Amino acid sequence: MNALIHSFVLTSLLLSAPADAGKATRIIKDIEFARVDGQSLKLDLYLPTDTSDSNLVVWIHGGGWKAGSKDACYISWLAQYGYSVASISYRFTDAATFPAQLHDCKGAVRWLRAHAEKYGYQADRIAISGASAGGHLAALMGTTGGNRRLEGSVGGNLKYSSRVQAVADYFGATDFILRSQTQPSRANEVGSVVYDLLGGAANQKIRLARQASAAYHVSDDDPPFLVFHGDLDKTVLLDQSQAIEKAYKAAGLPLTLHILAGEGHGGTRFFVGEHATNLYNFLQTHLNPEDKPGVRP
């Protein structure tokens, strides 16, 4: 799936790109940003040739918090439009339960800030994005900035912030209390993905379920959100994206929800064409607010 999506993305973007798009990129694989309980946590960097004015976008892969790979980076094409992209790994539920996964993501962002000078990107404004389980973690990264109880110490670099300045969430869960009611088979049953993440049923571990839900962390200093969700998604119901939308609207914060008619849980359409443009324009607006509109895929 990753190779197919990546191929479609590059084809759709580069065939119609202006002359100054499609810049050469360099890829640095398997950089260790932390070691936890003997497990090496690594990231990949996709860098434009010139990183001097490059903002950073961090990608978190999906896989039900129990599988998947940082190799499945569906937004690596952004490097051809001047962005630096980091695709990160995190511990799965067979190794640790929540909040370990969030701690790993925060550790990765701190490490990326600490090493910004070495790799050349700008680290004052960082966006985070992810799909499915990665979308869940990206949404939490956006809404738990400054929450010391959820910061952790993975990888050290504690003098650096793990706050992010924009979030692009692809069909991630944001409210496990709601999910325990509307999708009990995925949130409450033994062996379900949420049960394994929390170490118990969401309708029993209510305090932890709330802690793991971005919709319950929204505060007035949270960053802007861009959310994509298919209206036929049966894996993560649309009400999960609507939950964070409702919380953001109640707080008076900016969130744009794109509902893809006829789409289920993922697929090529989320990452190409108009939706690639939606992502690019969102990043330009919130990471480069002083710039004039640039090349848009």
Q: Domain spans of the chain?
A: 2-173+225-287, 176-212
pLDDT tops 70 at residue 249:
yes
Return the SS3 of 134: helix
- Report the alpha-carbon distance of residue 84 to residue 57 in Å, rounded: 6
What's the gap between Cα 206 and its chain centre? 24
pLDDT tops 90 at residue 105:
yes
- Report the alpha-carbon distance of residue 260 to residue 243 in Å, rounded: 17
Say which CATH topology domain 2-173+225-287 has: Rossmann fold (3.40.50)
- Report the alpha-carbon distance of residue 144 to residue 237 in Å, rounded: 23
Q: Are residues 258 and 269 in contact, defined by beta-carbon separation less than 8 angstroms? A: no
Quickly state the pLDDT bin for 51 (edges 50, 70, 90): confident
Residue 254: cis peptide before it, omega within 30 degrees of 0: no
In what order do the strands lie in the sheet containing 255-260? 25-36, 39-48, 84-88, 55-60, 122-131, 166-170, 225-230, 255-260
Return the SS3 of 158: coil
**Residue among 186, 181, 188 at smallest CA distance from 204:** 188
Quickly state the pLDDT bin for 10 (edges 50, 70, 90): very low
Q: Which residues contact 36 (CB under 8 A, 6 or more apart)?
A: 91, 96, 100, 104, 154
pLDDT tops 50 at residue 4:
no
Flag whether the pTM goes above 0.85: yes
At residue 53, the pLDDT reads 85
Sequence letter at residue 240? Q
Burial-class residue 75 by CB neighbours within 10 Å (0-12, 13-18, 19+): buried
- pLDDT tens digits, 188-243: 999 999 999 999 999 999 999 999 999 999 999 999 999 999 999 999 999 999 99
The region of weakest confidence among 22-26, 98-102, 166-170 is: 22-26
